[in-house]
Structure 1
Amino acid sequence: MPLYWHLLKTVPSMQIVMHRIVWSTLLVVAGLCLTQGLAWLRIAMARPKVAWMLALSGVLIAFNWGLYIWAVNAGHVVETSLGYFINPLLNVVLGVLLLRERLSIAQWVSVVVAAGGVLWLTFNYGSFPWIALSLAASFGFYGFIRKLAVVDSIPGLAIESLYLFLPAVAALLWLESQGAGGFGSQWSWQIDALLVFGGVLTAVPLIGFSYAVRRVPYSVVGFMQYLAPTLQLLIGVLVFGEVFDRDRAIGFTFIWIGLLIFAVDGVVRARRAAPL
């Protein structure tokens, strides 16, 4: 994701977000309509509380997209990775406090160790990591709502995208009329193609995430999500040349140790359960 959005750094961040909304909505809704007609919409909206829950999740993911794209193109890739390191911890907290999921002793140890790394980074980062905390909170509560919403992953993504579709189209048309846009005119065809394909890049991971989040414990989802920010951190440091000093190395090391403890405990528990 950071590498892809960096290719679009000449496009204003909010316009990238609006294009993400438009093209991902068209892709997902068209696919559903071709395969199921409008049955998916009637079934999903007939379920209690789904309509307002998906409206809220749509707002949360749009905010998350906008902040993330802006941060990447403003040179804060390392801080975005910190946000997605904090996010799994928030998922664990939500799973335990709100969903009453239970953790083993080893899992609790891993949470405490990883939380220590997050606290270290927070107090030694050099400035208050508002980007990281905002990304963690918005995506954490997005996943929490999608876990509670009784709707299949693809229809759920389609509905939450439809809530944002018309405002995004209206905003893009207004920008074009004011000469502030550039799709199909000022920007190159390569930029236009990247914006359109951004819909695919947006839809596929969210479909996978929504599918998985309803089928495994939320606390496990949280710790698996340490993989993505690790890759983002490496991109920020090795590709974009952002700072990664001793204090950050200490904090990230604690987080990785916590992840390792959690992963080893998961393997051991799975092997014990296999004969049963």
Structure 2
Amino acid sequence: MSNSTAAARSETRGAIELTAAMLLSGTIGVFVVEAGASPFNVVFYRCVFGAAFLGLYCLIRGFFKNHGFTPKKLGLAALGGVFIVFNWAFLFESYDKTSISVATVVYHTQPFFVVLLGALLFKDRITAHKAGWLLVAFLGLILVAGVTASDFSSGSTYLVGLGYALLAALFYGLSTIITKRVSGVKPHLVALVQVLLGVPLLLPFTQLGQSVHFGSGWIWLIGLGFIHTGVMYVLMYSSYQKLPTSKIAVLAFVYPAAAMVCDWAVYGHHVTWIQALGIPLIVAASLGINLGWSLRLRPAAAQTAPAAPASGTQAAPAAGAQPVAASGRRTTA
């Protein structure tokens, strides 16, 4: 088998793995809602069961040997974990107050928070092209939000839900900025540290007494831990090693598409036509930021080389996203 054939097969396998991971990500909202527990309870048990899966996986794969952690790297991974677990809690809260579809699309403003935080914290330069894509994303966000006059009335929780989704995106951006500086460590180990930290961190916010009333909700909670914090991450991290940045960025949008289909199929929720107009704007802006696209059309003769990915941004959108790989590529919720 030639090297080119082997590389093509590896890329195809990576595409299948990432597509499967994103399809699994799209079902997170259903698992959260069907669990019937408070957002902090859901995240707490997601961390418990996720840590069990990832710990066993890392042990079997021998990742604990020559782990690469230093006190500084361990501290950065833990700090990123603080933002990750609260990001999950805010996103899950948003599901209840808006819908899985709206919350997921609004949550996918994460790449723009990464750009803004990079400029604010590390003085990264925001180019004219980045600023243009941020404006496109903002217009898309306004359309997707679909805010009406009734949402400002007393008793309406829709605006609060949108705020939670944006706060979740902000926290994900903070985790991305921090965790991408953890180099030389297997991303599975970084994720393990973050979910392990989530257990004692969320304990004060968790109502353990309600656990006896979960009933069938335990199945959904175990699924969130084993499937969405275990199997899904293993698939994603494996695919990242096989795929170019451009393909990762595109395939990652399977996640919000799958979430919207699940929301419609299970709960009958769907976005309005006006909201639907905003989705391609956010998608285009996210790809533009991640892949360094130019908003200005140039004659073919003037193009000398394809644009490089934007500095300080992530390769994939999500996550709901979830912990950020040590390579700097992002994960989902």
Task: Give structure 2 stretches of 5+ with no counterpart.
Answer: 1-27, 152-158, 295-299, 307-333
How many angstroms apart in 1 are the aligned matches of 2:142 and 2:238? 31
Q: Is the 8 A contact 2:94 2:165 kept in 1?
A: no
1:21 aligns with 2:62: no
Q: Which moved more, 1:215-224 or 1:49-58?
A: 215-224
- Residues 249/35 of structure 1: CA separation in 2 closer, same or farther (3 Å cut): closer
1:134: how far off? 0.8
The percentage of aligned residue pairs carrying the same residue is 18
Please tell me the root mean square deviation across aligned C-alpha atoms, in Å.
Answer: 4.3
The answer to whether the 8 A contact 2:50-2:224 is kept is yes
Q: In structure 2, give the amino acid aligned to 1:117.
A: G
Match of 1:202 in 2: 229
Given that residues 21 and 164 in structure 1 are in contact (C-alpha distance below 8 angstroms), is that contact kept between their aligned partners in structure 2? yes
1:162 to 196, 204, 218: 196
| Structure 2 residue matching 1:49: 3-state secondary structure | helix
Q: Is the 8 A contact 1:237 1:243 kept in 2?
A: yes
Q: Secondary structure at the match of 2:210?
A: coil
* TM-score, with length taken from structure 2: 0.60
| 1:54, distance to aligned residue in structure 2 (A) | 1.6
Change (3 A) 1:40 1:199: farther
Using the TM superposition, give the Cα deviation of residue 25 of structure 1 relative to its aligned residue in structure 2, in angstroms. Answer: 0.8
Deviations 1:163-219 (A, max 9, x none): 2234557887x72xxx4322xxx444x433332232121234445666788999999
Alignment of 1:3-14 (within 5 A): 3-9=30-36, 11-14=37-40
Match of 1:148 among 162, 176, 181: 181
Cα distance between partner residues in 2 of 1:216 and 1:147 = 18
AA of the residue aligned to 1:53: L
Q: Could you tell me how far 1:227 is from its partner in structure 2?
A: 3.9
State the shift of 1:154 in Å: 0.8
Q: Deviations over 1:91-117 (max 9, x none)?
A: 344567748589795x77555433322
C-alpha displacement at 1:156, in angstroms?
Answer: 0.8
Query: CA separation of 1:162/1:253 partners in 2, compared to 1, >3 Å: closer, same or farther?
Result: closer
Measured in 1, the distance between the counterparts of 2:135 and 2:115 equals: 11
Q: Hey, what does 1:88 align to over in structure 2?
A: 111
SS at match of 1:244: coil
Which residue, out of 137, 151, 166, partners 2:170?
A: 137
- CA 1:195–1:132 in 2, change beyond 3 Å: closer, same or farther? closer
Shift in Å, 1:64:
1.6
Identify which range, 62-71 or 74-83, moves more after superposition. 74-83
Is the alpha carbon distance of 1:33 and 1:231 closer, same or farther for their aligned partners in structure 2, counting shifts above 3 Å? closer
Q: Tell me whether 1:77 sits opposite 2:100 in the alignment.
A: yes
Which residue identity is paired with 2:51?
A: T
Indicate the structure with greater helix content: 1
Distance 2:277 2:80 in 1: 34
Of 203-212 and 230-239, deviating more is 203-212
Matched residue, 2:263: 236
Q: Deviations over 1:51-87 (max 9, x none)?
A: 2212211111111222222332455323312332311
What's the CA shift for 1:21?
0.7
What TM-score do you get using the length of structure 1 for normalisation?
0.70
Gap regions ≥5 residues in structure 1: none
CA, structure 1 residues 72+51, in 2 after alignment: closer, same or farther (shift >3 Å)?
same
Q: Judge which range, 91-100 or 207-216, deviates more.
A: 207-216
1:55 equivalent in structure 2:
78
